[in-house]
A and B are shown apart, each in its own frame.
Chain A
Amino acid sequence: MILLRLISWPYVRKHAGRALLTVAGIAIGVAVFVAMRAANDAVFGAFTQTVSRLAGATELQVTAGFSGFDEAVLERVQAMPEVAVASPVIEAVGATGLPGQGNVLILGIDMTGDRSLREYDLESGDAAVLDDPLVFLAQPDSLMITAEFARRNGLRTNDRLPLDTVDGRKEFVVRGVLGASGLSGAFGGNLAIMDIYAAQHVFGRGRRFDRIDLALTPGVALDAGRQALQQALGPGFQVQTPSARGQSFESLLRIYRLMLRFSSLFALVIALFMIYNAFATAVTQRRAEIGILRALGATRGQVGLLFVVESAVAGCLGSAVGVALGYALAGGVARLIGTLLEGIQGVGQGQAEVTPTPWLVGVALALGTLTSVLAAALPAREAARVDPIKALQRGRLQVLGAGENRARTLVAAGLGALGAALFVGTTSLPAFYVGYLCLLLAALLLTPWLSVALVRLLRPALVWLRPTEGMLAADSLIGAPRRTSATVSALMLAIALVVGLAGIGRASHGQITEWAESALNPDFFVTGSPTLTGRDYRLPEAMTGELAKVEGVAIVQRMRQPRVAYRNSLVLLMATDVESVGRTARRTVLEGEAADMYRRVAAGEAAIVSENFAAGFGVHAGDVVELAAPTGMLRLPVAGVVREYSDTQGALIVDLALYRKHWHDDTVDLFRVYVSPGAVPEEVRGRILTRFADQRRLFVLSSHQVRAYVGRMADQWFSVTWVQIAVATLVAVLGIASSLTVTIADRRREFGVLQAIGGLRRQVRAAIWMEAATLAVVCLVLGLVLGALHLYFVLQISYRDYPGLRFDYAYPSLVALAVCPVMLAAAVAAAIGPAESAVRGSLVEALEYE
């Protein structure tokens, strides 16, 4: 298109800085989108790959939540005609005693039968992998490690490797090395294989397996095999493909992914406004040019198209830069997500490789370009409607009809009403989303009106501050609502996003702390794993009595907390001594009567559910939950709903005796220990450690340590939030900078006139600064208010759609306060450059500027 070269290119060259900012707007939006997606894909790609590597030729996996099941189940599975090979698995995370090597995932498998399922990639023929299979099986200290891990640590066959076990730290012997591909690639090489029966012993599993991996008899369809197994085993077991199991792992992070999606969306919407702003200005500035074009015979369509194509080119360029920037950022984001996943799984995935996929690049380019074109559509339409005659009369401005304002207000009112109705009136999710969208649109439509109203309110203060300059600043803003509304819209959204994110952070942090203080109040937690969530090292029932006998110990409460399946989700089953816990650590009761509730649950007649469980599954006191236990369906009435944040998927509290009866599992994850009045906690702790020192690996965590741990977990979560807040703030700063640059540069003549009629430089300068600051204040006020609404929505969504977290509404005043000076400073800083160029440039030129 020749017009582009003749008309657009010179303009872009003349306003290079401005064009750059426009492109930067798109670039940031696209970069955020790409970084989030690419990192997400990389981490979960690596995760999926790990899942499939671990699975090998496994077609189906049998699990019973995370509770494990009796060995006897294996024989039942093996006896089925549909099953060709069935191999038991124990999966545990073990701490290596090697400095800097962290945890390894230990796969306990049956080497005599597992070969046909997993590819061990024998490094140099069969013999190299296991020095001697018989010795491997005969000696419980046998370990097979990956070539990668061996190389990193200079380990060779028959070398010793320390590993923490239930019985304390033990030396293991490397009796085999896995080759470089296949299994070895999972978890960045931090993977070890142990004989399953040795693993039962090392991890305190008793005679239980975590899982059975199986391949079906050739000719048996996957679905038919799955159904046959499900039928044979009953509802207490899950029969899934390995990838489906991987997905349920991923679902543990879904709230987090939701937040990422929100951020990308916001970034793009903000970019949309920035581009709109740039193009709207460009159209105003180039009216004469457009007039000439039209006079020379260009059709309206051609003129409109010119702008659309310009925006498409800008969008394309911006997207390309954004894609590159996004991928550059993705590595860091991937590390962050990786840390989160590691927190859930226990073992790092190793460095997730972020590799550009054509799909994502394509989508990002399309999205960026589309956003740009969309943003430019309105200005382009306006450009097409320019009246050539009027445009050619210099100094005459075309005005929009007053009708537009009324229509705008009407539509906004309509949308607002609809939004409010959908928001409050229905429980349907799509309606809820649409409602939110309506409210957001209404807010955006009302932005011009609202900002003018606000400036009117601010005017006296401005005039009082600096009569002349203040008046100039205020009147300029009042007089041109459309000029500023795009800026205000973009920044309002950005600030709202910041408020939403910070609000979630604050709410969750506050409530988690409160819960940690009331629910996690024992003096000590005695566990086999160094964290409360680790369930890899279990302790035997026999320890209960031994612990109780330690001098100074008053109360010992047992706790076993596996994940179990409930309506296709994996929820946390907290099996504990409810009667005792009910006395020492009562949760905030939301439904039900406390005393009666604990009594019934202690008697094994009922269960208590966490608030997020109740919300997520729509279960209330008096309802019945059906839990699939290995012994069959367990129907339990819900005695009450409490505040409990142990798990994002929801938690059920039942009595330990009930759990043992139905799950045949007498292991213990942790003991909650209260010391006797008068006893010195530190001494009791020392006695516990001494008592079991030579028997087993034990961690005695003080409530202080546990709360600190909970705090750290929460902080890890918030580190993501902070990054998002930083991105949103950056977008806001860039937005205000770009908008001010554009609008001030656009008004050079105006400032020239001001000087020509007697305005001093400093007066003009101050007026511009005040205008920028006022604009920032308007954005802040509107943004902080919209943020309040947005926060409400996000909390509602996490509550209605993602029943992970339910938090009370708490406005993040601190962050809101912190944003104010940042935005004001950004606004004024952004105004300095354009203001100086406006007052320092040649007056003669400024007056002729158009």
Chain B
Amino acid sequence: MSKWMLIPCAVLAAATTVTAQDARQVVAEAQARSTTKSQRYEGRLQVVDAGGKTSEKRWTYTRLGSHGASKTIIRFTGPAEVKGVALLIVNFPDRASDQWMWTPAINRERRIATQDRRTRFFGTDFSFEDLEERDVDHHTYVMEGEETLEGERCWRIASTPRPGRRSQYTRSTLWIRQSTYSFAQVENFNGSTLVRRLRYRDMASVQGIWSARTLEMHDFTRNSRTILTLESLTYDVPLRDDQFTVQALQRS
């Protein structure tokens, strides 16, 4: 899962005062401050569609490693129809992630074809691409200035995919809080059309890392929102590599 989404946290470390900031440096700093060895939380996912219909799911999220080389397991815990369904996501620095799914009802695992990264992630407003971990080096950045967003001073930075990197978005705008180097908002565009907006809210310092405990993704093409609430969030929990394999996926 993406760092931007799930660990949008930053610690204001030591004494470095950043003044005239280089856009890339800001993003790199934000990434550095959010880097942890592992993570676990209980998530609650609410999808509110254009008609106001709400559906809710719960999961347990565990991650080992960070950025370029991380592995994640999501186990759904509710509602009953999806209880036991588990996802294993293996991220690579240089290519799209591999994903497997375990469905207990037919007692088998499956590989999820992710050739099309625009596909929505299981009925949420996140696309598979939104869930991929993006390294700071995958984009080029331009500082567009400073803005106040929900009462906090933020840098506003334009981000464009480097040549050769394919994306459904032609550009994105990032808002990074100056106080904590944590992400506040990301807007994704296709041409001049705003496609999706991700907001990072309910910031709190968890084990010294500034973390958003509510993430809100707004899909403007379908006018639908997904709200992810993180509970029992902990970092650097002891986890082993063999807990993140297809075989391990089947053990619940």
A139 touches B105 (CB 8 A): yes
CB distance from B100 to the nearest CB of A (A): 11
B113 touches which of A113, A127, A135 (Cβ 8 Å) = A113
B123 within 8 A of A: yes
A138 touches B103 (CB 8 A): yes
B57 touches A134 (CB 8 A): yes
B112 touches A134 (CB 8 A): no
B116 touches A116 (CB 8 A): yes
B106 touches which of A86, A126, A133, A197 (Cβ 8 Å) = A197
> CB-CB < 8 A to A127: which residues of B?
49-50, 123, 222, 224
B122 touches which of A115, A125, A133 (Cβ 8 Å) = A133
Give the residue name and chain of the A residue nearest to B109 (CB). A197
CB distance from B128 to the nearest CB of A (A): 9
Interchain CA distance A112-B121 in the complex, whole Å:
9
CB distance from B2 to the nearest CB of A (A): 19
Residues of B212-229 whose CB lies within 8 A of A: 222, 224
A110 touches B113 (CB 8 A): yes
Main secondary structure of the interface of B (DSSP, over half): loop
B110 within 8 A of A: yes
Interchain CA distance A197-B110 in the complex, whole Å:
8
CB distance from A554 to the nearest CB of B (A): 36
CB distance from B5 to the nearest CB of A (A): 18
B157 within 8 A of A: no
A762 within 8 A of B: no
Interchain CA distance A84-B119 in the complex, whole Å:
15
> CB-CB < 8 A to A155: which residues of B?
none
B101 touches which of A75, A85, A135, A137 (Cβ 8 Å) = A137
Residue tally, chain B, CB below 8 Å to A: 27
CB-CB contacts of B113-131 with A at 8 A, as 1s and 0s? 1111001101100000000
> CB-CB < 8 A to A110: which residues of B?
110, 113
B82 within 8 A of A: yes
In the complex with contacts A125-B222, A134-B122, A140-B105 CB distance below 8 A: yes
CB distance from B12 to the nearest CB of A (A): 38
B76 touches A134 (CB 8 A): yes
Give the residue name and chain of the B residue nearest to A114 (CB). B113
Give the residue name and chain of the B residue nearest to A134 (CB). B122
B116 touches A140 (CB 8 A): no
B116 touches A115 (CB 8 A): yes
CB distance from A194 to the nearest CB of B (A): 11
> CB-CB < 8 A to A133: which residues of B?
120, 122-123
A78 within 8 A of B: yes
B251 within 8 A of A: no
Interchain CA distance A110-B100 in the complex, whole Å:
13
B82 touches A135 (CB 8 A): yes
Interchain CA distance A126-B106 in the complex, whole Å:
26
Residue tally, chain A, CB below 8 Å to B: 26
A132 within 8 A of B: yes
B81 touches A112 (CB 8 A): no
B106 touches A132 (CB 8 A): no
B115 touches which of A84, A125, A134 (Cβ 8 Å) = A84
CB distance from A767 to the nearest CB of B (A): 85
A798 within 8 A of B: no
A612 within 8 A of B: no
B120 touches which of A78, A126, A198, A201 (Cβ 8 Å) = A126
Interchain CA distance A126-B121 in the complex, whole Å:
12
CB distance from B175 to the nearest CB of A (A): 28
B50 touches A138 (CB 8 A): no
A311 within 8 A of B: no
Interchain CA distance A86-B114 in the complex, whole Å:
10
CB-CB contacts of A97-141 with B at 8 A, as 1s and 0s? 000000000000010110110000000011100101111011110
B85 within 8 A of A: yes
CB distance from A137 to the nearest CB of B (A): 6
Interchain CA distance A134-B85 in the complex, whole Å:
9
> CB-CB < 8 A to B122: which residues of A?
132-134, 137
Residues of B151-195 whose CB lies within 8 A of A: none
B112 touches A197 (CB 8 A): no
> CB-CB < 8 A to B76: which residues of A?
134, 138
A139 touches B115 (CB 8 A): no
A197 touches which of B82, B103, B119, B222 (Cβ 8 Å) = B103
In the complex with contacts A125-B50, A125-B222, A133-B122, A138-B105 CB distance below 8 A: yes
A561 within 8 A of B: no
Interface core residue of B108, B120, B123 (most chain A CB under 10 Å): B123
CB-CB contacts of A180-208 with B at 8 A, as 1s and 0s? 00000000000000000110010000000
A63 within 8 A of B: no
CB-CB contacts of B222-242 with A at 8 A, as 1s and 0s? 101000000000000000000
> CB-CB < 8 A to A485: which residues of B?
none
B55 within 8 A of A: yes
> CB-CB < 8 A to B113: which residues of A?
78, 85-87, 110, 112-113
Interchain CA distance A134-B55 in the complex, whole Å:
12
In the complex with contacts A126-B120, A127-B123, A133-B123, A138-B81 CB distance below 8 A: yes
In the complex with contacts A126-B120, A132-B55, A78-B108 CB distance below 8 A: no
> CB-CB < 8 A to B111: which residues of A?
75
Interchain CA distance A134-B114 in the complex, whole Å:
15
A130 touches B81 (CB 8 A): no
Residues of A729-753 whose CB lies within 8 A of B: none
In the complex with contacts A132-B55, A134-B82, A112-B114 CB distance below 8 A: yes
CB distance from A282 to the nearest CB of B (A): 72
> CB-CB < 8 A to B106: which residues of A?
140, 197-198, 201
> CB-CB < 8 A to A130: which residues of B?
123
Give the residue name and chain of the A residue nearest to B50 (CB). A125
B85 touches A138 (CB 8 A): yes
Interchain CA distance A24-B212 in the complex, whole Å:
86
CB distance from A367 to the nearest CB of B (A): 51
Interchain CA distance A207-B250 in the complex, whole Å:
17
Interchain CA distance A137-B76 in the complex, whole Å:
13
In the complex with contacts A125-B50, A125-B222, A113-B110 CB distance below 8 A: no
> CB-CB < 8 A to B85: which residues of A?
134, 137-138
Interchain CA distance A130-B101 in the complex, whole Å:
18
Give the residue name and chain of the A residue nearest to B122 (CB). A134
Interchain CA distance A126-B119 in the complex, whole Å:
11
CB distance from A87 to the nearest CB of B (A): 7
CB-CB contacts of B40-63 with A at 8 A, as 1s and 0s? 000000000110000101000000
Interchain CA distance A116-B57 in the complex, whole Å:
26
Interchain CA distance A78-B116 in the complex, whole Å:
12
Give the residue name and chain of the B residue nearest to A85 (CB). B115
Interchain CA distance A85-B96 in the complex, whole Å:
14
> CB-CB < 8 A to A140: which residues of B?
103, 105-106
A112 touches B119 (CB 8 A): yes
CB distance from B193 to the nearest CB of A (A): 17
Interchain CA distance A198-B49 in the complex, whole Å:
28
> CB-CB < 8 A to A116: which residues of B?
115-116, 119
Give the residue name and chain of the A residue nearest to B222 (CB). A125
CB distance from B215 to the nearest CB of A (A): 18
Interchain CA distance A133-B85 in the complex, whole Å:
12
Q: Could you list 28 A-B pairs, sorted by A, with CB under 8 Å?
A: A75-B111, A85-B115, A87-B113, A112-B101, A112-B114, A112-B119, A113-B115, A116-B119, A132-B55, A132-B81, A132-B82, A132-B122, A133-B122, A133-B123, A134-B76, A134-B82, A134-B122, A134-B123, A137-B101, A137-B103, A138-B76, A138-B84, A138-B103, A139-B81, A140-B106, A197-B108, A197-B110, A198-B106
Q: A115-B119, A127-B50, A197-B108 are in contact. List 17 more A-B contacts (CB 8 A).
A: A78-B115, A85-B115, A85-B116, A113-B114, A116-B119, A125-B222, A132-B82, A133-B123, A137-B85, A137-B101, A137-B103, A137-B122, A138-B76, A138-B103, A139-B81, A140-B103, A198-B106
Binding site for A on B (CB under 8 A): 49-50, 55, 57, 76, 81-82, 84-85, 101, 103, 105-106, 108, 110-116, 119-120, 122-123, 222, 224
